Amino acid sequence: MGATDLDLRKVRYFVAVAEHRSFVRAAEALHIAQPVLSRQIRSLEHDLKATLFDRDTKGTRLTAAGEVLLEEALSLLAAADAARRRVRDAAAGSRRFTVGFTPGVSIAPAVREFAARHADVSVEVLRMDFVHRADSVRDGQVDVGYLRLPVRTHGLSIEPLFSEPRVVELPTGHRLAQRATVRIAELRAERMLLDDVAQPRDGSPASPEEHTERPVLAARSIEELLEHVAAGRGVVVVPLSTALYFARPDITHVVIEDLDPSHVCLAWRSSRRDALIREYIDIARRTASARRLGGNGTVSDHSSFDTMHGRD
């Protein structure tokens, strides 16, 4: 689905109705008459040859087709806004390049080298949302983003950078806190605070298209999850660099010896063909190749990622 296939105004109207769950409230928010809004939605349904809403006495609900369109529409509209911003920047004679990052992944060497090469480009960094991190890349908020797999890669191209061990975060008084390593079977009785589809190495790896890490508790960040760990409400499996980045005295981490490593990749929208993106990818891969961690593990290159995903 591309911007040329749909009238973006109709798509914006559709999103308003979907979010308000009411044609009346959506029309008020859009400052248009309700009959006009209804005609635009019917026109969009005609364009797509699909019914998007079910309307009855209980209200307005999305159909299955409407649910799919809403997921696509949010990214589509954000991408259109990002495109307009890039065009305005170019017309004004300025260029901006935004790098999305995940806490614990070092981006400074690549950003520093890239910025030194392009004094005419405003190089910015943006911390991506903990749960919906891939959306920042997909909707154009960032030009490239450092992502940890598994994550939905629909609409994205990815370049593997490195892999690292995964560890379990435990309260310091936990029965396993003094161990050098643990096996995943030893954690079966624990309450896992992240639904990260953890699999031992002898199991089938989860597809990055099918799964994403989701907090079991209502948590918007790693920091909030670690508060639950410290309070004894459960444990969480994270990459080693994340544990080191968020180190605190009331929590310790132990390497899980039989769990697949965490794979870090660089992602960008598949439709983008910018020379700056390709240059940044080259710099990021080179600066990441020698990256090592102190403490309980080592970051490796992407060979295990290639094996896991069938890449040559």
Question: In the chain, what is the greatest distance between 2 CA atoms, to the nearest angstrom?
Answer: 67
The reported pLDDT for the residue numbered 87 is 77
Which pLDDT does position 141 carry in this prediction? Answer: 84
What average pLDDT does this structure show over 12-23? 91
Asked if the domains at 81-157+264-294 and 163-256 fall in one CATH topology, the answer is yes
The pLDDT assigned to 124 comes to 94
CATH of 163-256 among 3.20.20.70, 3.30.70.1450, 3.40.190.10, 3.40.1210.10: 3.40.190.10
Q: How many CB atoms lie within 10 A of CB 55?
A: 12
% of the chain at pLDDT higher than 90: 50
Q: Is the pLDDT reported for residue 37 higher than 50?
A: yes
Spell out a b/e string for 129-149, using b for 16 or more CB atoms within 10 Å of the CB, else e: ebeebbbbbbbbbbbbbbbbb
**pTM for the predicted model, two decimal places:** 0.64
- The CATH superfamily assigned to 81-157+264-294 is Periplasmic binding protein-like II (3.40.190.10)
More confident residue, 250 or 204: 250
Residues 81, 103: Cα–Cα separation, whole Å: 26
* Candidate from 130-134, 172-176, 203-207, 257-261 with smallest mean pLDDT: 203-207
Q: Give the tokens for residue 210.
A: 């099918």
Burial of residue 276, with CB atoms counted within 10 A of its CB: 0-12 exposed, 13-18 middle, 19 or more buried = middle
The answer on pLDDT for 70 being more than 90 is no
Q: What are the angstrom distances between the C-alpha of 294 and each of 243, 262, 269?
A: 12, 16, 33
Mean pLDDT of the chain: 81
Does 1.10.238.10 match the CATH number of domain 8-73? no
Per-residue model confidence (pLDDT) at position 308? 39
Give the model's confidence band at 41: pLDDT under 50 very low, under 70 low, under 90 confident, else very high: very high
- Give residue for tokens 């009331």: 250
CA gap 305, 158 in Å, rounded:
12
Residue-range domain boundaries for the chain: 8-73, 81-157+264-294, 163-256
Lowest mean pLDDT among 39-53, 83-97, 249-263: 83-97
Give φ, ψ of 18 to 5 degrees.
Answer: -65, -40
User: What residues contact 137, with CB distance under 8 A and at least 6 apart?
Assistant: 100, 128, 144, 145, 147, 156, 267, 268, 269
Q: Is the pLDDT score of 195 beyond 90?
A: no
Q: What is the mean pLDDT of residues 256-271?
A: 91
